[in-house]
Every structure is written in C-alpha cells, then in structure tokens.
Structure 1
C-alpha cells in the first residue's frame, strides 16, 4: 500500500496509469523523421517536425494519414505509406526522443512510495519496450499496453479498464495521467481520476479545456 502522497491528486490512488508520447517523452523528432522518410520514399514533399507535433496522439496510422492529406496524396497510398513509416521508425525509434523534465523525479518518487504504475499508449506495441529500455524507464511499469494490444484504443476506456482489472485495482482508485483530450476522455469514461500536463500533444488545443480533474505544469509536482 503506498504511503501518504504529497499531491492531492494522489489521495486514495493505488494505480497511476500514464500516457507515453507527450506526457513522459517528447518523441516527435523521431516520429517526424520517420514520417518524412516515408514521404521521401514515395517521392512526396516532407512535412517537418512542427506539423507532426500537431498530429500525434491517435496512433501511427492516423499520423501517416494526416501527413498524406497535408501533401495532397491519394487516399489509396495509406497502407504503403504506413508500412514505410514503420520501417523508418523501427530503424531509429529513440535517436532524438527525450524524457520530459520532472518525469524521472515523479516516477522515482511514486515507486519509492510503493505506487503501482502502468502505461497505456496509442503507439504500436512493438515500439514501447525498445523506447522504454533506451530511456531506462521500463522498470517503473507493471504493465504496458500499446494501441494495437486490444481491438480499441484511447479515447475508448477499454485499455484503461483492462489494465486496472489485470492489476486488480478498482477504477475509482486509479489515476490517468496524459497530455490530450483523448487521455482525459478515456480516463473519465473508465471511472479514473484524471490529471493532465499542458506541454504535450493536444492538436493545438489547451488540454485544460477537456476538463481533467487536475492540471500540473510538470509531473515533478507529484513528488
């Protein structure tokens, strides 16, 4: 049982479930490189990091679809473009990806209190372990779920409920931590408490507008 926590958002919480991209890590530089690599292979113009930053959050296929739409490509090219994206991303999923300030402090403090932690991301499962291991984050999480682990993904609550059930924690004792409206919606629909950070990827919208229970500027506030 975790000891008393310093932040009110953690009161009564036994399991903290984190989003990955935009919450714990800034992965856009590597995602953008893979998107642009796929576009180059298809003899299409690159879109660049700034555009990709606004498109992340709904899984890799949707990311590639948005890139194709931006350059005016035909819809029938999505399967080929997505395969090329996965190829490029697999080659370098953690070359320029960085952990956000305050994240390691928060994870270490939560672990020291005995808090259980999980990860639910819309990123394909195959990339989760390599990135977590590269950044020395894997040991914090009891269970991780990628966007292709179940038949639905966030904002559907099913991945959150699956993780909570697997770890035998009631939804009312769970906290969902994310950076986007999809995280907030998934957490709310799952019956979790919700906490959001404003620095991640939310399609150019302030995440506070989604109505999370708590907003913190940095996860260091949970220490």
Structure 2
C-alpha cells in the first residue's frame, strides 16, 4: 500500500505532556484537600479528554456531575496556563516530521485534548507549517474513537482513508484508526503498552519515530 497522508494523535504520540497534566491536576486536588496521584497514574487517566481525566482523578465520592464540572473548569484554566512548561516533543519526533514534510506527505493532528489547548501546545512546540489540519475536541459526541473527524480530515486532504496512516499511543487511537478504515500504528514511547495497542487493532507498533519511515 502506498500511503499519502498521516494523522497523528498529540499527547503521548508527538508530545510528552504527562508532567504538565499531572502537575496541574494534582495542584487542583491538593488545593481542595483531596489525594493526589503519581505521574504514572495519569498515563491511564489520559486519552479521552480533560473532563474524563478529571473524573478519573477524583475520589469516587466526588464523581457527581456537578462536582466533576466544577473541578474540570478549575483544571482547564490551570492547565491552559501551564501546558507547555515541561511538555516537549519526544526524541526523534522533530526529525520524523522534517523527513515526512520533505517527502510531501500530508500531515494532520487529531486529539481528544480540548481544541484550544491542542492548538496552543502543537503550535508552540511543533512546526505547524507541516500540518494541513490541527484539531482537538470541540464536541463530546465527536470524541475519539468516533471516526467522524478523522474521516473529515481525510476528505479535506483529498486522500482515501485506506491511504492514510493513523498514529497513536492508546486503545482509543487504535479504535479510531480501525473505525475510520485507516492503517493503525501504535507507538511504544507513549502512555500505554504494546499489549493494549495490539488488542485494539494496531497493525504495526514502533519503538522510535524513525521506524515509521519503513512503512513509506
């Protein structure tokens, strides 16, 4: 198969965002006298949007909708101010993007992170001129693994979904890729492990960004 375009997840795929996320949420919890979590725990909380992360981080006794919404709003504001303090591209990501752009592949970013912060982090830390589309979450009903936004991207890029690679680090990403009829590639440097990726439909797993070039 000759691939013409690639859609990337953001957190855990292109950018290592976990420390800024953990620091922001733990500050919210600490200021409200609630138990905090170590950074590793947040690797399991991410992937389905900030609101879901807040729900997972809260004690079960605090998971009613009113409380979740209140803590979400606090977390959102705090993370917005601190989302690029410790966040950096993973080793090899910038070189990969340089090579893909040199080959004239069409690239996009699709994240379950709120669109405002997806734009903020991607544009601050990645060469935005390489990407045809950068999109985060604007509507909960369109949250991955719903493939609608991935398919819309494919259409806007003028590429058949079967000629698209979808690259991500979680079960949600692999489900999105398969739901959209795209070639699912799981990255092993992100927030989850190979077993989860394979179980959710990864056609290929890669341990370093440079390995992605072998598919092309």
Counterpart-to-counterpart distance in 2, 1:118 and 1:92: 24
Q: CA shift at 1:206, angstroms?
A: 3.6
Q: Distance in 2 between matches of 1:77 and 1:217?
A: 39
Q: Give every structure 1 segment of 4 or more consecutive aligned residues whose post-TM-superposition deviation is greater than 6 Å.
A: none
Question: Could you say which residue in structure 2 is the equivalent of 1:151?
Answer: 141
2:205 pairs with 1:218: no
Per-residue deviation, 1:131: 1.0
Tell me whether 204-213 or 20-29 shows the greater mean CA deviation.
204-213
Unaligned runs of 5+ in 2: none
Superposed displacement of residue 12, structure 1: 1.1
Per-residue CA deviations over 1:141-200 (Å, capped at 9, x if unaligned) read 110111225731111111100111122211111110111111111111111111111221
Which of 53, 71, 82 lines up with 1:63 in the alignment?
53
By percentage of residues, which structure has more strand?
A: 2
Q: Tell me the secondary structure at the aligned position of residue 108 of structure 2.
A: strand
For 1:104 and 1:74, the matched residues in 2 are separated by 39
State whether structure 2 residue 159 is matched by structure 1 residue 169.
yes
> What CA distance in whole angstroms lies between the structure 1 residues aligned with 2:63 and 2:72?
13
2:110 corresponds to which of 115, 120, 124 = 120
Greater percentage in helix? 2
What pairs with 1:41-190 in structure 2 (closer than 5 Å)? 41-69=31-59, 72-75=61-64, 76-148=66-138, 151-190=141-180
Counterpart-to-counterpart distance in 2, 1:131 and 1:156: 23
Q: Which residue of 2 aligns with 1:8?
A: none
**Given that residues 55 and 63 in structure 2 are in contact (C-alpha distance below 8 angstroms), is that contact kept between their aligned partners in structure 1?**
no
Q: Matches of 1:52 and 1:150 in 2, distance apart?
A: 21
Distance (Å, rounded) in 2 between the aligned partners of 1:155 and 1:141:
21
SS at the partner of 2:107? strand
Work out whether residues 57 and 202 of structure 1, in 8 Å CA contact, stay in contact via their aligned partners in 2.
no
Offset, 1:203: 7.8
1:54–1:202 contact (8 Å) kept in structure 2? yes
Residue pair 1:54, 1:204 contacting (<8 A) in 2 also: no
Please report how far the alpha carbon of residue 96 of structure 1 lies from its aligned counterpart in structure 2 after TM superposition: 0.4
Task: Give secondary structure in 1 for the equivalent of 2:141.
Answer: coil
CA contact (8 A) 2:119 2:135 kept: no
The residue aligned with 1:6 is none
In structure 1, runs of 5+ residues without a counterpart are 1-10
